[in-house]
């Protein structure tokens, strides 16, 4: 990484990315790391890339902080200690650069089932900006973060094929070993790295 970083959070993002956000360079809360960085899992020989720091009102997020992707695709980062005796009782929203252009530049899911069964094919309708194509569909689990570690974090790429203008046939995970039953966020990403807001999907046998 570009900084020594401890007590940070790692967040899986659509587009096969891992976002490192928050943390500190030391163990005494004196040098918080304010600049996020990202690793592209499509390029395992690549490097962590620095992103712009959040706005000035953004708080340091160190030990006991939480970071998670929310259905609109932004990152909620909250809590964290100021020192050994006090915390930041607040939250901030971080907007990754791939969705910062607004709704017109992002893919949009216009139709998706609320219930999906294992080992089936289900329809999804999605739109993308002119000149762009859908390159990824994925499920991301809802978060369960404590002490900077999301024990429930799961990223599941889905095979899909186009079935007409704006229509796609998407293959569900084969069984509970690949994806435990429960609620997931379904995201669509395009060839620029931009991704949609999520559709809520319940996956079950």
User: Which pair of tokens denotes residue 1?
Assistant: 């990484």
pLDDT at 162: 95
DSSP state of 176: T
Q: Are 6 and 24 in contact, with CB atoms under 8 Å apart?
A: yes
Distance of CA 191 to the CA centre of its chain: 17
Low-confidence ranges of the chain (pLDDT < 50): none
- Predicted structure pTM score: 0.94
CATH number of 103-204: 2.60.40.10
Q: Contact at 8 Å (CB) between 107 and 128?
A: yes
pLDDT tens sequence across 46-87: 999 999 887 767 899 999 999 999 999 999 999 999 999 999
- In the prediction, which pLDDT does 160 show? 98
Residue extents of the structural domains in the chain: 9-99, 103-204
pLDDT at 151: 85
């Amino acid at each position: 990484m570009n900084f020594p970083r401890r007590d940070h959070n790692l967040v899986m993002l659509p587009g096969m990315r891992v976002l490192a956000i928050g943390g500190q360079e030391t163990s005494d809360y004196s040098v918080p790391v304010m600049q996020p960085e990202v690793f592209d899992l499509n390029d395992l020989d690549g490097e962590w890339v620095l992103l712009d720091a959040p706005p000035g009102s953004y708080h340091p997020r160190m030990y006991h902080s939480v970071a998670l992707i929310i259905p609109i695709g932004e990152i909620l980062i909250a809590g964290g200690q100021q020192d050994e005796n006090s915390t930041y009782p607040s939250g901030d929203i971080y907007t990754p650069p791939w969705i910062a252009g607004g709704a017109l530049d992002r893919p949009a899911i216009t139709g998706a089932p609320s219930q999906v069964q294992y080992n089936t094919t289900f329809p999804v309708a999605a739109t993308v900006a002119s000149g762009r194509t859908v390159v990824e569909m994925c499920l991301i689990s809802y978060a369960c973060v404590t002490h900077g570690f999301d024990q429930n974090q799961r990223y599941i790429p889905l095979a899909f094929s186009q079935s007409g203008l704006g229509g796609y046939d998407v293959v569900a995970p084969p069984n509970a070993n690949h994806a435990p039953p429960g609620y997931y966020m379904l995201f669509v990403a395009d060839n620029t790295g931009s991704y949609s807001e999520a559709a809520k999907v319940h996956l079950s046998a």
